[in-house]
Amino acid sequence: MTNKPLAALLFGCMITAQAASAQSLLPKPQSFNAGKGAFSTATTKVKLINEVGADAENIYSKQWSAKADNNAQQVVRFTRLANATSPEAYNLHITKDTLLISAASADGFRFAWQTVEQLKQKNGIMACDVQDAPAFKWRSLMLDVSRHFQPISFLKKQIDVMAQYKFNRLHLHLTDAAGWRIEIKRYPRLTSLAAWREGKTWKEWSKLGCKYKNEGEEGAYGGYYTQDELRDLVKYAAERGITIVPEIEMPGHSAEVLTAYPELSCTHEPYKQMDFCPGSVATYDFLENVLKEVMDIFPSKYIHVGGDEADKASWPSCPLCQQKMKELGTDKDGLQAHLIAHFGKFLTDHGRQLVGWDEVIAGNLAKNTTVMVWRGLEKAQEAIDHGYDVVLSPSGYWYLDYYQDAPDTQPEAIGGFLPLEKVYSYVPGGTLPEDVRSKITGVQANLWTEYVPTAEHVEYMLYPRALAIAEIGWNGTKTKNYPEFRKRAIVECERLHKQGVNTFDLKKERGERPESFKTTKHKAIGCNITFNHRYEDKYKAQGDKTLVDGQHGGWTYGDQKWQGFLGNKGYCLDLTIDLGKVQKISTVAADFMQAYGAWVFFPSEYKISFSEDGQNFKEVYNKKSEVDRDIQLGFRNLAWKGNAKTRYIRVQGSTTEDGGWLFTDEIIVK
């Protein structure tokens, strides 16, 4: 009897100790069992056994060869991992006297060593057994070096950090309207003009009319990587288990190219077009020549050709595009599909594989295509149905340019609200059937940098949120536990700080908009609303009664609590609430949001009218205000206060900005 609680106590201690040990690892390994003690690193002599030759060479010579002694007690041994489920798989067996690393490949040894680094403690490397392999074969970060250029030294620093967390791809968004960043010897104007702009930041450049400047000209901001620098970077990354995937955008997001080489657009006018002319032979020649140089620099099997957000505006009226569409019997979307398929085949013919954003999905692509899904799971399903590989980078969860904490505590961001917990909450493939989900090959976080001008700021946006993608990419999602992950992320932030990385301070996190946690009781709760102009389905939130459900929105209009209104020449927000009977009221109040980057505005005009019979309305409130473009993200409460008797309340709002949105979360009637 007395033994029982003691056994339970001991067992409890063991569990706690084990949990504490595993806490030092991020990403969490597939299997971890704590041992006793540690393999001392203070020792000066070890017996070295390398059964895998060059695969372990890096670790062998860098860490151990100076200590090699055949008579030593402690053994460091590298062996081949048999029957590995992945080339990146590895096992560790660590005791007081043995450090045994087995892996399937050089990358496996590299990632094994990253785990060993995280197991280091005061008295040596923690004794344990680890069996580990990645859940996804593509674990990636995308850095947008077009909107703001960052030097090679900075990219190397990020590669070091990424390797620590077992990422294996760095996707570089090398070209976009804000600047071309890769030397192409055949087309020098890409780097003598298209890499330089007026306006140090993307925002200034935008405000100044998106102009380019010649290299060396006064006020020319930007930069580019030479081919030699990129080759060196590729090598540096490969030595750390990371493949660099270059992205060359086509046919959209290409204003910089089309100003340097206007003959590649439909109208041949600089500063006018965003999209290549897919009806012109010159476009195909140019892009093939660019891709040949790209392939010469980047050995990556995967070459990204963008494909997103082409607006195709110039194509329907371009004679060459018209001719091509006629020849192919297609429309402008088919023309884009034709261009992408052409480059898919071109890359395949050169032994490479096309990667593109999910706009590239069409039935005529090479089967080896990888689709990067950013818009929705239906796109993943579509791509898988076609037999393509799928890498998920969902904008609502893994776009790290969104605010990671209360916006008033953060540097200006593009909008949204994406705290660590939300990044971590994403389950790749979520609601898709298991047989579809199991075909998803990768995960990727994207850091677009329109609002991220400096190197420090890039790091701040990346970490710790990128660690959540590292964890999901490596460990999967079967044993997710956010509070436990958050603790490990805090430890890693401290480690990163010591390495000179500027992370967001997770310990000071404030979180979601306080209003979003409260429920407000008021006179209009559950009342019928007639929409004289309906909300947009994409932002319908909870539907017809969203604005009278007592719930308030959070920091982002995309949280399904804010309702979004668009278009309509007059009032895009125009609705009538029926209180059910005439009654006395003293307040009609509503919150509005402005998210300038997303073209969401406070109302330029907002008015409230009352009626007892639903026919004859009397205006009681009318507020007009100019659009303030300096408010990147803001919240405004507009309220009528007084004493009145009414049954019907009509609320109308408009914006003077063409194509602008209005978002409101609750219309409170008291």
Answer for which of 308, 421, 509, 657 binds ligand ACM (CB under 6 A) is 308
- Which of ligand ACM, Zn ion, none does residue 357 bind (CB under 5 to 8 Å by kind)? ligand ACM
Applying CB under 6 A, among 111, 205, 374, 388 the residue interacting with ligand ACM is 374
- Give CA–CA dist 532/571, Å, rounded: 9
Q: Which of ligand ACM, Zn ion, none does residue 279 bind to, with CB < 5 to 8 Å depending on kind?
A: Zn ion
Query: What whole-number distance in Å separates Cα of residue 452 and Cα of residue 444?
Result: 19
Give whichever of 112 and 174 is closer to ligand ACM, judged by the CB atom.
Answer: 174
Closest CA to 38 of 127, 122, 132, 145: 127
Q: Is 266 in the site for Zn ion (CB under 5 A)?
A: yes
Backbone angles phi, psi at 130, to 5 degrees: -125, 135
Closer CB to ligand ACM, 394 or 428, in the complex: 394
357: contact with ligand ACM by CB under 6 A: yes
Quote the least distance from Cβ 174 to ligand ACM, whole Å.
14
For position 474 contacting ligand ACM by CB under 6 A, the verdict is: no
| Residue closer to Zn ion (CB basis): 277 or 575 | 277
The residue behind tokens 């125009």 is: 574
How many amino acids of this chain bind ligand ACM (CB under 6 A)?
4
- Residue 645 in contact with residue 584, Cβ under 8 Å? yes
Instruction: Please identify, using beta-carbon distances, which residue of 99 and 595 lies nearer to ligand ACM.
Output: 595
What are the catalytic residues?
Answer: 309
**Which entry of Zn ion, ligand ACM, none binds 309, CB below 5 to 8 A by partner kind?**
ligand ACM
Q: Applying CB under 5 A, which part among 196-204, 274-282, 288-296, 369-377 lies near Zn ion? A: 274-282
Q: How far is CA 400 from the centre of its chain?
A: 5
Question: 3-state SS string over 280-304?
Answer: CHHHHHHHHHHHHHHHHHCCCCEEE
Q: How far apart are CA 343 and CA 250, in angstroms?
A: 10
Are 320 and 277 spatial neighbours (Cβ–Cβ below 8 Å)?
Answer: yes
Q: Could you tell which of Zn ion, ligand ACM, none binds residue 340, using a CB distance below 5 to 8 A set by kind?
A: none
- Which one of the spans 27-35, 320-328, 425-433, 497-505 is the region binding Zn ion (CB under 5 A)? 320-328
CB of 42 closer than 8 Å to CB of 124: yes
Token pair belonging to 47? 């017996």
What is the DSSP code (8-state) at residue 534?
Answer: P
Partners of 131 in beta bridges = 31, 91
* Residue 168 DSSP code: -
Q: Which does 321 bind (CB under 5 to 8 A by kind): Zn ion, ligand ACM, none?
A: Zn ion
CB 308, min distance to ligand ACM, A: 4
**Side chain identity at residue 66, one-letter code:** A
CB of 629 to ligand ACM, least distance (A): 23
Which does residue 69 touch among Zn ion, ligand ACM, none (CB within 5 to 8 A, set by kind)? none
Q: Quote the tokens at residue 109.
A: 């040894």
Rounded least distance, CB 113 to ligand ACM, Å: 34
What, of Zn ion, ligand ACM, none, does residue 287 touch, CB below 5 to 8 Å by kind?
Answer: none
Classify strands 124-132 and 120-121 as parallel, antiparallel or unpaired: antiparallel
Q: Is 309 in the site for ligand ACM (CB under 6 A)?
A: yes
Is residue 451 at the binding interface for ligand ACM, with CB under 6 A as the rule?
no
Specify the DSSP element, H or E, that contains 264.
none
Cβ neighbours of residue 537 under 8 Å, at least 6 residues apart? none
By residue count, the chain amounts to: 670
CA distance 6 to 599: 64
From the list ligand ACM, Zn ion, none, pick the one residue 318 interacts with, judged by a Cβ distance below 5 to 8 Å according to partner type. Zn ion
Q: Judged by CB, which is closer to ligand ACM: 112, or 458?
A: 458
- Do 528 and 549 meet the contact criterion of CB atoms below 8 Å apart? no
Single out the segment in contact with Zn ion by CB under 5 A; choices: 45-53, 180-188, 283-291, 312-320.
312-320
By CB under 5 A, residue 339 contacts Zn ion: no
Angle at CA of residue 307, ends 302 and 311, nearest 5°: 170
Q: Does 117 bind ligand ACM (CB under 6 A)?
A: no
Give the Cα-Cα-Cα angle 381, 382, 385 (nearest 5 degrees). Answer: 85
Please, which residue, 357 or 602, has the CB nearer to ligand ACM?
357
- In the complex, the smallest distance separating the C-beta of residue 418 from Zn ion, rounded to whole angstroms, is 38
How close are the terminal C-alpha atoms of the chain, in Å? 65
Task: Please name the amino acid found at residue 437.
Answer: R
Burial level of 590, CB count in 10 A (0-12/13-18/19+)? buried
- Cβ 359 to ligand ACM shortest distance, Å: 8
Binders of ligand ACM among 600-629, rule CB under 6 A?
none
Comparison of 28 and 379: residue with beta carbon closer to ligand ACM: 379
Residue 308 interacts, among Zn ion, ligand ACM, none and using kind-specific CB cut-offs from 5 to 8 Å, with: ligand ACM
With respect to Zn ion, which residue has the nearer C-beta, 164 or 273? 273
Give the CB-nearest residue to ligand ACM: 308
Contact of residue 215 among ligand ACM, Zn ion, none (CB under 5-8 Å per partner type): none
Q: How far is the CB of 249 from Zn ion (least distance, A)?
A: 17
Here the tokens at position 105 are 């490949």
The answer for residues whose C-beta is within 8 angstroms of residue 366's C-beta and 6 or more apart is 341, 344, 345, 347, 348, 353, 354
Residue 279 as a binder of Zn ion (CB under 5 A): the answer is: yes
* Among 142, 177, 318, 440, contact with Zn ion (rule: CB under 5 A): 318
Dist CA 368 CA 363 (whole Å): 12
**Binding-site size, Zn ion (CB under 5 A):** 6
Q: State in angstroms the smallest separation of the CB of 476 from ligand ACM.
A: 25
Which chain residues interact with ligand ACM by CB under 6 A? 308-309, 357, 374
Interface with Zn ion (CB under 5 A): 266, 277, 279, 318, 320-321
